[in-house]
Amino acid sequence: MIAEMFLESIASAFPKSSYTQSESYDFSVDTKPVKELDSRSQALLRKILLGDSGIAKRHFATGEPGAMFAASAQELNEYFERVAPALSSAALEKALDNAGLVAADLDALLICTCTGYLCPGVTSHVAEMLGMRTDIYLQDLVGLGCGAAIPTLRAAEGFLSANPGSKVGVIAVEICSAALFVNDDPGVLISLCLFGDGASASIWSDEAGEGKWKMDHFDTIHVPEEREKIRFVNGEGKLQNKLHRAVPALAAEAVEQLWKKRSTEPDRILAHTGGRDVIEALEAKLSVELLETRRVLKDYGNCSSPCVLFALEDRLKNAEADSSYWLTSFGAGFAAHSCEMWR
């Protein structure tokens, strides 16, 4: 029997340092790796960062993002190990406070990320930083890319089914500045112009209550033959993002398939940001305007897995008349995911 899963609270955290797209252009052009790009690549960077990308600013956990282009693989991984647990903890502390809970109240902590690898994972670090119980269940999900938040929430539903009366913390955290990479591949350069750092934390239980939002109807579509269109690969020991120009259409087609399987007509569709072209493709395919998704892109860029939850948090601030949502995320795999929320 599948447990009912109710939202107790949701909160986000971002690094203090933020940069407009023009500031990102300024700190990029003077770096040695960018100067070594061919003229076509430099023109592409200029076009995206100084053009209409739909992004006003992005947050990076470093005060010197340009220096990340030349950082070694070891330096990037050490940076991820410092930053990812700290940003995750900041988001979770907010969520706990909003729910009137403390870290010791959690029975499980699930964290998804794709921008760094730790063993033991980020959960171990967060559990130590926040003083969680020694018997807390920890689960790290890696390798799911930008779509990871919804599958991680589905895993939380499974834990609640097996452990009635529990409270589960779920964090999606990405330190995209730990995966900054420069070469003449157009997909790499586009990624360089879109991604930022951020974390979303939410707390879930199986306890019903007046006005609480319930999450259910999880669904997934895998298209493995399109795997090479969007994924991380190893570039000189670093994470190098592959991003094909077909991704907006591919995402829209997969999301449309999930949309046709929905159980109700939602008040709002809340989607992963992707980028301007991705949002436009989704809006055209679904015949909707993704207002919250566009705001997330504008204020934070593409932060990968947390973005759909940023959109949810944004909408919940003005949810008085709402009764149902449909959420969707997508990315590496190629995979797309969806779930529904209602009250």
What local confidence, expressed as pLDDT, does residue 1 receive?
A: 60
What local confidence, expressed as pLDDT, does residue 168 receive?
A: 98
What local confidence, expressed as pLDDT, does residue 167 receive?
A: 98
What local confidence, expressed as pLDDT, does residue 236 receive?
A: 85
Tokens 């360089």 found at: 192
In order along the chain (343 residues), what is the average pLDDT of each group of 10 residues?
Answer: 88 97 94 94 95 96 92 96 98 98 98 97 98 98 97 98 97 96 92 96 96 97 95 90 93 97 96 97 97 98 98 95 97 96 96
Tokens 């690094």 found at: 15
Could you tell me where the beta strands, DSSP code E, fall in the chain? 6-13, 18-20, 57-59, 108-113, 137-142, 167-174, 198-205, 214-222, 230-235, 238-243, 268-271, 324-331, 335-342
Q: DSSP readout, 287-332?
A: T---HHHHHHHHHH-B-STTHHHHHHHHHHTT-TT--EEEEEEEET
What local confidence, expressed as pLDDT, does residue 2 receive?
A: 67
Q: Which long-range contacts (CB under 8 A, 24 or more apart) does 295-300 make?
A: 297/54, 297/55, 297/273, 298/54, 298/55, 298/56, 299/56, 299/57, 300/14, 300/57, 300/58, 300/59, 300/196, 300/198
